[in-house]
Amino acid sequence: MSVKKELLARSGSTCELCGAAENLNVYEVPPVSTGGIDGSLLACTTCISQIENPDTTDVNHWRCLNDSMWSEFKPVQVVAWRMLSRLRAEGWPQDLLDMMYLDDETLQWAQATGEGLDESEKIIHRDVNGAILKAGDSVVLIKDLKVKGSSMVAKQGSAVRRITLDPENAEYIEGKVDGQHIVIITKYVKKIN
């Protein structure tokens, strides 16, 4: 069974955030490590576009989180927490956040993107040219890198797709090179547009 079919069954063929029944797609909750049904939710295009583009956020659309924040599914809980954190200045989202409970692992996942932090507190990952890197971006190595603990050398020009960011250190990202998951220092990569 495909991920979308499993999510349709789990959600009753509705957006797991707002309850819409049309234009539903799989949304992998960043930073994606597991993917699949445990790392994804079913969401409408309205919710997905507002999650990915904060400038287009319609605050009233997210009043739906009053219900969906109580979901038993961790990806839904994570996105609800992130959107409430993003909107907390409105007042009512802070009230919902105060009621919400996430176990330690789920809270760590929710905080991994830096949502809810003041700009001065966020850890910003930048490539060699100063371009801001985000979870899920693709980068290319600008020099050969010896991988610690193995005989592998990651060659200059190798593309690393769907990177994840180290939430505690702005100098480290992770990704797969030749099928091996490695940690890479940001000053040795260039973002691919």
Does residue 31 have a cis peptide bond before it, meaning omega lies within 30 degrees of 0? Answer: yes
Distance of alpha carbon 175 from alpha carbon 4, whole angstroms: 25
Of 115, 105, 118, 141, give the one whose Cα is nearest residue 30. Answer: 115
Contact in structure between 145 and 153 (CB atoms under 8 Å): yes
Residue 100, domain member (yes or no):
yes
- Amino acid at site 42: L
pLDDT at position 117: 56
| 116 domain residue, yes or no | no
| Whole-number pLDDT of residue 31 | 77
Q: Is 27 helix (H, G, I), strand (E, B) or coil?
A: strand
**What whole-number distance in Å separates Cα of residue 82 and Cα of residue 113?**
9
| Shared-domain flag, residues 104 and 71 | yes
Residue 124 phi, psi dihedral angles, 5° rounding: -110, 125
What is the domain count for the chain?
2
* Residue 155 CB contacts under 8 Å (≥ 6 apart), including other chains: 141, 144
The two tokens of residue 11 are: 């959600």
Give the torsion sign (CA, 83, 78, 92, 60). Answer: positive
Q: Are 144 and 155 in contact (CB under 8 A)?
A: yes
Q: Range of 150's domain?
A: 125-192
pLDDT in tens, 122-178: 678 889 888 888 888 899 999 998 888 888 888 999 999 888 888 778 899 988 888
| Average pLDDT in the chain | 87
pLDDT at 88 over 90: no
Do 58 and 23 have their domain in common?
A: yes
Instruction: Report pTM.
Output: 0.62
